[in-house]
A and B are shown apart, each in its own frame.
Chain A
């Protein structure tokens, strides 16, 4: 998408939005997982308001990208599935939020790590 465009256009923060995260359901999943150590399947499904199969599909996409870790286990005799964000996933989410903030601020020229970025993150 960005390959044929000029250098100035590629600098725009929207190009830094991670396509894996920048989908409504996956954004909700990642945002929820970022706020917790791990989340139970049922809780996440109710939180994101999707069906079991759709949640499983999006989790598979996130797992394939290395953003989510799936843990299967038992509580008594009941099978349970837990999801957690990996370090890669957390870093990608932080970068995604940073890019969103830049877009919202209309600050297309800011370079991550600069003082301008620090002040906009507060």
Chain B
């Protein structure tokens, strides 16, 4: 096999596998947006948000399920290594958000509501960035 052809083949295959990564980036971003919207919405608009929790949950699960089905064919290296730890980090930060929202931050839209709402989303944004920059 000619070395030049070998390199060409390596590049072709690498490109194809890289294309599959977009599903991981997309699902991480969806997860981050959904989490931020959930925590900000619940604190900023308590009355309205309570009615939207179920549709939000169903929509998010459906989108993530679809993205997960697309991406399962080739598991990304960064996602495979960091996916579980990202979920745990997000869960830990969600607990911080819930505790502070219930004890310190008053109801209504404020800078603190937004910042605390963004907290659980940060690990997923970092993961999306990590997968995308490979």
Contact = CB atoms under 8 A, between A and B. Distances in A.
A50 interface: no
Nearest to B2: A103
A38 interface: yes
Q: Give the size category of B's interface with A.
A: 20 to 34
Nearest to A37: B80
A24 interface: yes
A38 B18 CA distance: 13
B72 A35 contact: no
Contacts of A42: 73
A35 B13 contact: yes
Q: Give the size category of A's interface with B.
A: 20 to 34
Q: Which of A31, A38, A100 has the most CB of B within 10 A?
A: A31
A64 interface: no
A12 interface: no
Interface in A37-94: 37-40, 42-43, 47-48, 75, 82
A82 B17 CA distance: 15
Interface of B: 1, 3-4, 6-7, 9-10, 13-14, 16-18, 20, 72-77, 79-81
Question: A-B pairs with the 8 shortest C-beta distances?
Answer: A37-B80, A43-B73, A35-B17, A31-B13, A37-B75, A36-B74, A31-B10, A39-B74
6 contacts: A27-B9, A31-B10, A35-B77, A40-B72, A40-B73, A82-B75
